[in-house]
Amino acid sequence: MATEIERKFLVKGDEWRSLAKGVVYRQGYINTENGCTVRVRLVGDRGYLTLKSATVGISRTEYEYDIPAEDAREMLETLCDRPQIEKTRYKISRDGVIWEVDEFAGENQGLIMAEVELTDENQTIELPDWIGKEVSGDHRYFNSYLAQHPFSKWSEE
């Protein structure tokens, strides 16, 4: 069993853009009713199936498996709810941790968020200058929520 311990932040400015090359992600969710998520993800030409428990604090159980890219494409088209998450991810190594900056496209256009995975909930990290407000505890910034309630429609809700 793996545990994901993750903090999320909004990103400010453009300084981070020169620090990494982006990779296009497409991901969809298979509906669950119990706070758990089932995610299908296509990263470039690689497919993944991920199952996550409900989040407690900033931690949750996570299981991730490689699947054939063609299976991922088919699952995205036939099993996953709409809209789906489209984003470009930039991985930036800094002070011993990897920051993943996600620049969203499609119905979540305009949202740029950074995540950092920790080894311990109490791990201290130095925040880069381009890190803005922390949103770790705000469920609206979970990708599974963004798939059901796109950022572009938040002012309407």
User: Which is the catalytic residue, given 29, 63, 65, 141?
Assistant: 29
Residue 29 bears catalytic tag: yes
- Pair type for strands 59-67 and 46-52: antiparallel
Contact 51, 2 (CB under 8 A): no
Contact 104, 151 (CB under 8 A): yes
* Catalytic residue IDs: 29
